[in-house]
Structure 1
């Protein structure tokens, strides 16, 4: 027992008081060493428990008798005990007393288990939160009934009786309540209206204000029995000057138009503690867009940095550096770190929309947003500091976060934490605080732009305050080739920004950012071009100042933007239209590492995971963000030659296929929910097949390619119906499915369209049905299709849908392609179709050559390949194995079906022409080259065309 010798002898007198009472009452004192050890620990660490049990000895006797010190309460047993304690209550004074007695008993139990080391920190915080929840709910239930009896029942316009919703904020909301926390509450009600059945009519605001006042008094007022929880309602809209209870509409209006940035931070942990479940869902759904912006919100970093600076200034003014919550390396800094990532990324990644800080920290490590060792250190520090906080507050049940300054208090705290003395405890404490401080400084450090910010030349260029000649000279010295033109562009940019009416914060962010832009673009490969393109992005995002914050907070994003802008306008044009794409530039490892199919599927799963199944608009937005972001990564890796040109189309095709498959699933599930599933179909899944033709079918998609699609369904009976309560014919179901797929992909949303769709290759073209049955498609291909449609079939393949139907299509395709044909008629048909295309589509002229349609271009190679496949596939079925031109040429060469080195020459030329086509797309230029470019290759194609396709001499 020497280790737990009480430093204050008076404390032991409280134990003797209890022992005397126990002896008089015949209560046995447990003689187990564990009990004696725990009792000594508790009496030394908590004067509150020692004094409370000396005054109310029956509490400990009851806890011992019931075995509740050794056993953790579950939620059900705690609720039963609470209801039993409140069962005799019939009036408000009785409610106040019952709540306080129950709270005292539970606090003694919780503190005992905590200090004795019989409860983990998580249990202590959860039990304290559960206690608060029960007290709020139990008090409100009774107060609501009494208030209705006195004033009438509040109802909305439809006559529905309303209940008050109580938002728990801070640690209560996150279920992290500590031993002497106050509880931050916001009171709300669903709708305006009036009371009914009372002595006089009151509006709902008056009723719920009165109810809120009574609840706050029931919990927070000090009586002879103490208090339940100190109640703080100052986090409500307008603070202390605002109404105590507000309608949902009033709350929504406030948070949309008047709320301050720190209120977003406060609202992260908000939880409806009590209220109608439907009302609770509505309230949280209303608040979510205020807290979590759908874009990456780096403006939150600035706001939290400012908030921390204000706290630090207040602490310094009040001499409270020993504050383990608000001081350097304290609990608040850990919470700020986690919540900064939540505010920045939570709208984009719904996984982060959670309340408990330890769960947030774990996600930061899992998602590689912070290094795992750093997060582990933060979690260890959080647990240690929260335990210290509980030990400090357990002593007198006071809400304090200050380390003791006196020697006895320090010794007592150290021993309660398991340390022999203060120096040993302090060493561990300071190590944790140093780690927290270091991580906090790293996350919240101002961007390293001091060199730029203190460069008077660059600052003057932005403000336009200097002499024009000096500005031109400074731009030339910085590395711009045409400084006069750049100066004029800066003037134009300043004028454009002035017309936008930016906020003060927007101007401050631009003042920091523009000098950085000048420096980054000046050091790029093409400074003049890069600056013009980056300024175009800034003009597009200027009024959404969080993007300005993102660029200034993360110079790496700006560096990548400048680098890629100097290479291609494709990036900046898309980012200007869809600024969300800036998110992709945060992590350079990710930016230059495009994903393959399995990872694409996983990313899309994560993006759609938290989107409501009926939220069509959000589904379309997320699909577009997915496709655009991944295309941007492919382009970045392509331009910087991280991936070879010939796999660019593979990446782009996989993005399209993953998108189509998900659209089909979403569209099918939507219709199946309404009408049931089609019956009597080929296959076991959807009975539907999406065929990709052209570049999609040939795995040769480029940037901005549209998708040639054909829809087939597997209905085997024309009278078949769906199996749902609202049955419709299979034909109707599949027609609507095709329409919905097109709608999901082509509807213009804030993020644009997913893909442009071309359905003209379906049987009978634009005159034909949108969706054909497999049997009708088979009959058409066998009996009615033109030669050019069989050419198109060579590049057709299933990209989404039922596997069995896909297998049937494969058999059909092979049979059509391998059909024996009359060679001369085939050559005549192919040649005539090529001539029609060239006459209508060739844009050669004026010294430029059309890469696709010009003589000797891509289309000539494709038509020769298609002719050769249809000409010889009946003898060589291997020609029906592939849909892409490279492998078809390889097969033709292996089978020696083309003269000499024709297959190799055509392959090399095809790759060169496609490379030029890709580059033109990224430069957003017409798909043409100068007449002199690629001339030998084009002449070889024309020579082979003449040998293979022109009519033989008579």
Structure 2
């Protein structure tokens, strides 16, 4: 009973000691079972030192109540007299509700916490085996396991064992448990035990001696027949034993579960046999294993079963592990696994994900393992399966900077300690930081944060996660810079051989050249070199993530040489994070964008402006080009100025396309490839329209001043008129003129022809920029007809001589430069031809089909693979466009939506009008978008146009990356293209040919 007047003082004391519910605490302290402890300030101080005093007090009451009355005195006396025991017991009760439950069910198990001799501080496998020795079935094994776990947790929360020691003890306890479970399984099936030899190989954190409180225990089973036994029957017996072992550990009983035993890291995963012979394992690893499987084997350790067989397995696979870095696509494979893990985290959990999220535990583990695999080939000191030991070895060997290693060690220990305490509370497998205030408070206090536990916890967590994010890339590349910068002669640094090994493993084909570039960029004591040393670790990682890291680094050196003395350049890259990553993506994606940038290096500024990658509209571009032309002294200078605008804007378009295709940290990959295609087509069309307008103005000014004697318009045709130009497309055009009032027709015709000739000359002047070729072959009478006609001449020709293919070509006609009113009148003239009233007759349809079949047989280049030619091949651009155009000519008179020059718009309108089913429309659209992207990719990668996939492996990989495929999946790129276009061709056969 509470003494009157004492309540207020006790209440405040409880608050000071960390209780959040003092009223409940007072009530619990007054229960009869705690009468021997009541009023003892030592107990209150000890409770106040726990992670959760309220939880600890509730657990203590439950434990005391669970004692037989004759035993309570022993417990309370020990609590009062033995501070080490008191701290351990109350520390566990305040940190783990699950272990408090265990003690309430097994009230004598508190006695396991009394011993505090030196031999008890850090037990190994042998001590844990003694603790489990009396377990004869799954239930008793669980009880014994929890009793051992109780002691580990006590040492952990009291600080007697540090993070590494606790993780190692948990792994040793798991080893002892696997041995005990195998013993139970063998006892249950002595015949199976006699028939085979079975070794249990620990993988993952158990193998690495760094286990969590609650984690799957990853294993691999190796079996061999006992002497004289049949191999097949022996492996069956070993499989039954292994399965029984897994059930003993994994199944839930009245005492709960221990942990799942996971054998999915075995060859072929869950689809492969549970137990294999040693030779079968080796055959698989030598022929079929993927990079991640060798990475997993880095932590392999024989822990149970036949020790000789286990040792043979480790001896056999170890050389394979340390050869993994020599595999093709080694680093991309490892990085892809990391990205896949992150991509699979639910969006709502990413910020709370302690293990798998950015700056989480897995980032440290992946980074350390990657460096181990790269340098462990020639340095056996790196062959540790334990992350912190391996990190220390990397630092000692000079592979990682000592300061970086120290920071990463501290961050990893803090994050793992958070993970341990989160799991310890309810002994549940989780890596999510809780959201509840009380849980965060307990977690913070368990880590020694007492002033404002929640705020301090969040601050420390974010700080350490930021350190991991920053160092994750720096670990790989900072030592490379130290190896070439030569600023601190006394420090350990990578040898040239080790630096070359690392660059080669990271995808650099010419590590010697890469090191020369790094030396040129980062050596010296200038401010420029200092900023480069800050930038390069991150840039090198982005280059390594591309299909051609060497090209990215070389391009960066060239741009830096051109702009290095410009004060804004390095400051832009240093201070605008998006600019540096955008530049890295652009420089390593192919030849076109870097070539454009190197001829106009100041365009780097585009990459740092949030609005910089948005394309400029046609009116804006034409105004700028015409202004530049107006300032020029002669026609050649005028066109050079127009080309300068085109070069800059083509770079802007290519950069936006590449960044949209690859994505960056700040800007994820554009999810809709069709949107990228439309954006590029519109931007390049507008740009070429403005450039032609500039050439027209320059040609007119050179001879006639401000006004040509005849009105003049340029009509875009083909992809130009369809706003679907690619980077390497020609500009198909028609020229139309109309004499001004009072001007003789012959004089007007001479002026029109001279201006066309001058425009073509100016645009064909030699240049290093991608050419802009004007093609007028779609004009009446083709190459034999006049280059330019009056509106009346076009009208007369089309009325008397027009063929069906010319009407089809006019479907893409749109005025794009020159006199807009004249251009609009041309469109009014040709509309009845391209959308004939009541559609096409059957003769015209047959003629279009005949022309298409002839084109397929005659125009495909000799030797070209018809399944991979993006323009003329099966299911490619031509197939889709002719199908859509036939629908336009047959139904455009009745369906206004079909009266467009754009292929995708017309296809969507045909679907909306019910002229093509949904699935078929989607199939054609997907194929057209993909074929267009292939052509754009080839131009971006090679710097010259092409209609099929390149044969060079690096170029093909770069095309694949642009299309959204990870490095090393070139085969998928080509296979998917064939599959998608094959389906499109089937639709074309049905809709176009009527098959």
Give the structure-2-normalised TM-score: 0.43
